[in-house]
Structure 1
Amino acid sequence: MTIEPTCRVEFGAGAVEDLPRFVTELGHQRALVVTDRGLQAAGIAPRAGKILHSAGIEHEIHDDISANPSAAEIDRGAARARAFGRAVVIALGGGSPLDAAKGIALLAGNPGAAAADADALWDAADGLPVIAVPTTSGTGAETNGFGVIEDTCARRKVYIGHPSVRPRIAVLDPELTLGLPSRVTAATGVDALVHGIESLAARGANPMSAAFAQHAVTLIGRWLPVAHRDGGDLEARAQLMFGAHLAGQALTISGLGLVHGIGHAITAHTGTPHGVALAAVLEEVIAFNAPAAAAAHAQAARALGAVDGDGTAATIAAVRELSGPLEIRKPLRQLGVAREMLPELARAAVQDPVTRNNPRTPTEAEVLDLLAEVY
């Protein structure tokens, strides 16, 4: 078994101050910062710009990224990157800017390519180098070379990526997450928790991914409630960020499963935040997977503090205890899902490539039953 580190990790409070050094170590003096308008308004993107400017790094800030980035947004960002020229792409933000930045960096290195060509781009020329600076603790997008974007016409999620746009450096600065709203802390934290739980059970799991995943679940289970209660607790923010990163390392090796397949479908059809969509079905998918994932569920249960009992039941109980105070789990009807949408959601979930990695292969009828249960 050969496992390569996914990226260089710079972890610690204030790590973002070293951005100029990271850019020059990659052989550049120019950077395109890909972010969103929320981080512009919050002052985080301008702070990054000031750090770069003070060190003489030529830069531009591209903030045209939405919460669920579309193929059109990736194409606009790629046009901006091509006009700016050879540079490091700094992905600054939550999962959406990080995913978008990887797509933009890839298209910038392939003149004439468009996001609609995503399926063919896995064999494309190299994209621009990427530095990832996550500002939430959830997606783990700094650990891999693909992004999940939305095909708004087909109302489905598509994957765009290439090994060359896997971030060369991940800058994990927990200070950037201080004061993150509790609802965002909950949604991104549950996303990270699902990454850990699904990575343990995934068909692609191996001892290395399981080690990452189990420690990730332990850290997230311990520190997510603390960070949710007190957004200014730096230790909680640091531990949660590290746990989310480990969960990202795990999923990059193992892949995920049906919770994400359904979550992608819900978000594509309703715009529901990703973590909220996952929370709606997490317990039910754990139960569905029980016949094929008993050992993995026992690992997850121990990581969440359960000392004995059936692994699946203990995991569900621990997830319920953790997510209850977060007030994140909602029935589908409260997420904008109309009952007549359920068959299409089931179809999209089964067709999502991530579902093929689920430990138990679901049929559309089984997923439809599951969705009806949480409607």
Structure 2
Amino acid sequence: MRLTVELTGRTEFGPGVVAELPSFVTALGHSRAFVVTDRGLRATGIVERIEKILASAGVEHATHEDIGPNPPTTEVDAGAARLREFGTAVVIALGGGSALDAAKGISLLAGNFGSVASDADKLWEAADGLPLIAVPTTAGTGAETNGFGVIEDPCVRRKVYIGHSSVRPRIAVLDPELTLGLPPRVTAASGFDALVHGIESLASRGANPVSTAYAAHAVTMLGEGLPAVHRDGGNLEARAQVMFGAHLAGHALTLSGLGLVHGIGHALTAHAGVPHGIALAAVLEEVMAFSAAEAGKAYETTARALHGTAAGGDWASAAIEAVHRIAELLSVKSRLHDLGVGRDRLPAIAADAVADAVTRNTPRAPTEPEVLDLLQSVY
């Protein structure tokens, strides 16, 4: 086997490590920082904490906190305009996956005057963006491991991928203390997203020995950590386990790609506003059953990592049962009609799911009618 794997970036992990943020800024050759964060994060006290850390070290900074869930291209354009006004700086992406994804687009556009976020498909060969430090405050997306973001183009009503190698975070700052205040629902949905990253990475057509190693360990850590953090949200050790498991799953998906679960998830969010992790949970078991014959080895690895047992050697069923138990425990599994998805939207959701770039990595290539049938089965 001939294998080339490029792993870049630096990871700083541990309780309280966010206090070292000023030294990370200077390590990148800058003395100024532009913080991109979620609209609601200031209420948690985290934004003020970061600002005080930067100010106490004399790091000039500005904070842009106008990023919402599933950020549209217009929000990315607005953030880039503000960054251009502020000038050259390290971009600090602070928050959940939406903030991290938007920050990548903002950083890239700031280095490419005249470009807008809807040009995403043309920007992969663009000039470099500004250097980026990722500080996730949720444990799920793994967005700190790669150089692309998923944003929404409202004009065409679909998800687009904006990215460039230059906006892959130079430093990922993983401080589990930042996740202690997460509400149970957010903890569950983001953690389940990470679990799906691991499972889909194992089954992906693009899987390789390195991505498989990352993904298998991620599923093990998340399978153990998610129930523990669900029982006690103040369990810092469990928070740390889930955060690092999500980070490993992010590395896995960056190398392997994902699959149909994410293709459907993106379409459900774009068409019906379903939160990402909840959208994935709605269809994970059904997609696994659809792909069972083609992904047998991957699902055996999944089942073993989740301490499942296979009656008669049926590891695919064991894996599906194991993820079902976790979904039930976290209360993230819902039917589509309960999530407000109109039945009339299902054909368009199926079409977009099949067309989504992530779906090409799925172990069994689906047709639109097959995906439509799957969606109707969970309606």
TM-score normalised by length of structure 1: 0.99
Q: Deviation per CA, 1:128-172, whole angstroms, max 9, x where unpaired?
A: 000000000000000000000001122210000000000000000
Give a deviation string over 1:341-362, Cα, whole Å, max 9, x none. 1100000100101101111100
Secondary structure at the aligned position of 1:120 is classed as: helix
Match of 2:248? 246
Matched, 1:336 2:340: yes
Match of 2:185 among 183, 186, 203: 183
Give unmatched runs, 5+ long, in structure 1: none
Which residue is equivalent to 2:316?
312
Task: Name the structure 2 match of 1:347.
Answer: 351
Deviation of 1:2 after TM superposition, in Å, equals 2.0
2:95 is matched with 93
1:183-241 deviation digits (Å, cap 9, x = unpaired):
00010011000000000000110000000000000000001011122111000000000
In structure 2, distance between residues paired with 1:335 and 1:128? 38
- In 2, Cα distance between equivalents of 1:67 and 1:321: 28
Partner of 2:262: 260
Distance 1:171 1:116 in 2: 29
Instruction: Say which SS state the counterpart of residue 103 (structure 1) adopts.
Output: helix
Match of 1:29 in 2: 31
Aligned to 1:270: 272
1:91 partner SS: strand
Mapping for residues 163-312 of structure 1, pairs under 5 Å = 163-308=165-310, 309-312=313-316
Question: Over aligned residues, Cα RMSD in angstroms?
Answer: 0.7
2:363 is the alignment partner of 1:356: no
**Percentage of identical aligned residues:** 69
Unaligned runs of 5+ in 2: none
**Is 1:257–1:355's contact at 8 Å kept on the other side of the alignment?**
yes
Query: Is the 1:6–1:144 contact (alpha carbons within 8 Å) kept by the matching residues of 2?
Result: no
Q: Does structure 2 retain, via aligned residues, the 8 Å contact 1:297–1:311? A: yes
For the 8 Å contact 1:6–1:249, the answer to whether it is kept is no
Say which SS state the counterpart of residue 222 (structure 2) adopts: helix
- Opposite residue 256 of structure 2, the aligned amino acid is S
Q: Distance in 2 between matches of 1:36 and 1:302?
A: 37
Question: How much has 1:335 moved relative to structure 2?
Answer: 1.1
Cα pair 2:44 2:181 within 8 Å, conserved = no
C-alpha contact (below 8 Å) 2:309/2:315 kept by paired residues: no
Select the residue among 358, 366, 371 that pairs with 1:367. 371
Counterpart of 1:291 in 2: which secondary structure?
A: coil
The answer as to 2:145 corresponding to 1:148 is no
Offset from partner CA, 1:63-108 (integer Å, 9 cap, x none): 0000110000000000011000000000000100000000000000
SS at match of 1:368: helix
Of residues 107, 114, 120, the one that matches 1:118 is: 120
Aligned to 2:138: 136
How far is 1:291 from its partner? 1.6
The answer to whether the 8 Å contact 1:259/1:282 transfers is yes
Give 1:269's aligned amino acid. Answer: H
For residues 71-86 of structure 1, the aligned pairs below 5 Å read 71-86=73-88
- Check conservation: 2:36, 2:92, Cα contact below 8 A: yes
Deviations 1:233-271 (A, max 9, x none): 000000000000000000000000000000000001111
Cα distance in 1 for partners of 2:77, 2:274 equals: 23
SS in 1 for 2:284: helix
TM-score after normalising by structure 2: 0.98
Farther-moved stretch of structure 1 (145-154 vs 169-178): 145-154
Which residue pairs with 2:331 in the alignment?
A: 327
Once residues 254 and 124 of structure 1 are traced to their aligned partners in structure 2, the CA distance between those partners, rounded to angstroms, is 24
Q: Which runs of 4+ in 1 moved over 6 A?
A: none
Amino acid at match of 2:303: A
Indicate the SS of the match to 1:292.
coil
Partner AA of 2:368 in structure 1: E
Amino acid corresponding to residue 365 of structure 1 in structure 2 = P
- Partner of 1:9, secondary structure, is strand
Q: d(CA) in 1 for partners of 2:257 and 2:350?
A: 20
1:229 and 1:60 map into 2 onto residues whose CA distance is 38
1:65 alignment partner AA: I
CA contact (8 A) 2:258 2:358 kept: yes
Corresponding residue for 2:109? Answer: 107
In structure 2, what is the Cα distance between the partners aligned to 1:95 and 1:250? Answer: 16
Question: Is the Cα contact below 8 Å between 2:73 and 2:153 reproduced in 1?
Answer: yes
Q: Does 1:4 align with 2:6?
A: yes
Shift of 1:179: 2.2
The amino acid of 1:95's aligned partner reads G
Determine the C-alpha separation between the residues in 2 that align with 1:221 and 1:132.
Answer: 25
Kept in 2: contact 1:33–1:90 (CA 8 A) = yes
Question: How far 1:307 sits from its partner (Å)?
Answer: 3.9
